[in-house]
Structure 1
Amino acid sequence: MEEETLMSPIEKDEEQRCLTPPLAGTLPEEESEGCEGLWELPVEPTARRPECGRCRRPQKVCLCPFLPVHPLNVSTCLYIIQHPAEENRVLRTVPLLAACLPEDKCKVLIGRRFSEDRYPELASVCRNSNTLILYPGAGAANLEEIDFNSLDPCVIIIIDGTWSQAKDIFFKNSLFRIPKQVQVRTSLSSQYVIRTQPTNACLSTLECAAIALSIMEKNDCIKETILRPLQALCSFQLQHGAQVHHSKEHLLKNGLYDKPMPKNKRKLRRMELLVNNVKI
């Protein structure tokens, strides 16, 4: 979000339409006569605002004051498998997560397909007996019940994307079905309230990592430290015009879902399951 204007997406679209020259012949004749030649004037290129090298936020809205002074001392290594669509999102959480941890403890790989030939290091990690993948499902063990007494450091893989993107990455990459599959049990509702989640129990990548690390490192302070910049980000956005996004589950149950219902039977069935509290 642009800090100077703090426009909503709709307002930005309106502004863009105002700045885009109309096609020839679309203006009334009296207006087109006065505008003759204006469309040929050079347009000055727009420069990106200076970006903070640590939190990856524009410098005017830097969140570094809410980050730990020094990276957290953890033995667990995170591998974030990020869908390409997440890379350019303005309000993404992975840069904040990475800023809380040492560089060698948070590695981000961007893509949709991960073959063993192209990613030999990742393949080796997936085959390590101390590697876990955080992906909820019928076969997932509860992370709280895993024994972490091994002397070797653990690795946890987290897929970053929407739920449909994460599902696509998980099932179309055989490497990710090699590690032990785990999930976190928590009563925590997502604090990432500026983005819509499918259900009330869905958490952002940063929140999942914070909970997982606090369990694996046996230190609740880790969770509090990693969540702090996310809380600051959401607070700032809400103070400057952003709206609280309730989950799709909440909107459907309370009759507040204002979008057309999908015609696709599979998607419609998923919505019915959300309303009936069936895990999907």
Structure 2
Amino acid sequence: MDEGFWGRRSGGGGGAAGWEGERGSKEDEACTLKETSEEDSISSEKCDEEESEAEEERDYEDAFGQNGLCALARLAKVAEPPSKRPSCLRCRRPLKVCLCPFLPAKPLTVSSHIYILQHPAEESRVLRTVPLLAACLPRDHCSVLVGRRFPEDKYPELARVCRSPSTLLLFPGRHARKLSVGVCPDPNLAPFSLLLLDGTWRQAHNLYEGNPLLQIPQQVRLQAEECSSYVIRTQPSQTCLSTLESAACALALLEGQPQLREVLLQPLHALCSFQIQYGAQPHDSKEQLLNSGRYNKPWPRNKRKLRRLLELRY
């Protein structure tokens, strides 16, 4: 009885094992079918791609002919992007119009440190003055930071500089003090750090408004005495200066060395001379164009831009 019982149990166990084997075979069949369907799908996709490529080739052949299609294929193989002209490593200008002969033989000796906050749009311009300024000064006395926002956590050194009482921001704000001969900051605070904003007037204004670090009390502006020599770009008014010109005037005053101004401006004069020699036209300021009736661009519809433009008249 017991044997029969255990025998039936054993037989039952064998039945279970047989059922497991049957289920395994069904699963294998399902996997095989799934793999087969996947392979069919992949092969179908490949066929579709091949058919679409063949259709594209036929379209090109209909449009250009067999000979034209071969010519296009040859051009695609041999065509290469145009190579850039070799540039001077110091002045960053093409070798044909290198400005190094107009730069000082060695970096100028200055105690002040210049920090230039440059708008990203200015970095891609061809006729820039910041590389010329950097080429005239020692590397450890001229730093260029490119961006729109300069948060304190990402620019700790800039934050430290902005908090220093010997740091000056050259920006014509409402509370900026005049920086001219006889009107200079306390010499006991020297050496000074000078912050400059590089870009168009609108870009410089956005840099100032968008960075709380720049809201410092030590703001200075230059006395407008001469017109800008940067005549190959249109300035808002006759007294607006380029970044290089502003730095040259400010450094000459802070360092007490008037000759620094002419030394720093010499490569700018050469740059403008080269450009005019190769066909560039001198630009009058917007102020001159408006007052002489030669401003032929459409008037802006934006009220704020229109107001700024009207402020340049007379």
| TM-score bucket (shorter structure) | 0.7 to 0.9
Deviations 1:165-210 (A, max 9, x none): 0000001100001251100003111000000001111000000000
**Matching of residue 89 in structure 1 with residue 134 in structure 2:** no
Contact persistence 2:166–2:189 (CA under 8 A):
no
- Kept in 2, the 8 Å contact 1:127–1:179? The answer is no
Matched, 1:185 2:255: no
1:129/1:179 contact within 8 Å kept: no
Matches for 1:217-256 after TM superposition, within 5 Å: 217-256=255-294
1:65 aligns with 2:101: yes
In structure 2, the residue matched to 1:135 is: 171
- Map 1:208-223; keep pairs closer than 5 Å: 208-223=246-261
Alignment of 1:1-150 (within 5 A): 35-40=68-73, 41=75, 42=77, 43-144=79-180, 145-150=183-188
Describe the superposition over 1:146-168 as per-residue Cα deviations: whole angstroms up to 9, x where unpaired.
23421641001000000000000
Contact 1:83 1:161 survives alignment (8 Å): yes
Query: 2:308 and 2:208 mapped to 1: Cα distance?
Result: 19
Contact preservation (8 Å) 1:128, 1:179: no
How far residue 61 of structure 1 moved from its aligned partner, in angstroms, is: 1.2
For residues 271 and 39 of structure 1, what CA distance do their matches in structure 2 show? 51
Q: Which segment is superposed worse, 39-48 or 173-182? A: 39-48
Secondary structure at the residue paired with 2:309? helix
By how many angstroms is 1:36 displaced?
4.7
Q: What is the deviation of 1:137?
A: 2.1
* TM-score for both structures, normalised by structure 2: 0.76
| Separation in structure 2 between the aligned mates of residue 179 and residue 101 of structure 1, nearest angstrom | 27
User: Out of 145, 151, 154, which is 2:192 matched to?
Assistant: 154
- Give the whole-Å Cα distance in 1 for the aligned partners of 2:129 and 2:303: 32
Q: 1:259 aligns with which of 289, 293, 297?
A: 297
> Any idea what the Cα deviations from partners look like across 1:111-153, whole Å, max 9, x if unmatched?
0000000000000000000000000022100112223421641
* Paired residue total: 247
Deviation at 1:35, TM superposition (A): 5.0
Q: For residue 142 of structure 2, what is the amino acid of its counterpart?
A: C
Q: 2-side partners of 1:124 and 1:212: how far apart?
A: 22
Higher relative contact order (CA 8 A, sep 6+): 1
**Unaligned 5+ residue runs, structure 1?**
1-28
**CA distance in structure 2 between the aligned counterparts of 1:47 and 1:205, rounded to whole angstroms:** 30
- Work out the CA distance in 2 between the residues paired with 1:195 and 1:74: 29
Q: Compare CA radii of gyration and give the structure with the larger one.
A: 2
Amino acid at match of 2:278: H
Identity of aligned residues (%): 55
Structure holding more helix per residue: 2
Q: Give the secondary structure class of the aligned counterpart of 1:150.
A: helix
CA distance in 1, matches of 2:133, 2:217: 22
- Residue aligning to 1:25: none
Q: Kindly provide the CA deviation profile for residues 25-68 of structure 1, in whole angstroms up to 9, marking residues without a partner as x.
A: xxxx99x6685554442312222222111101112211000000
Query: Any idea what SS the aligned residue of 2:116 has?
Result: strand
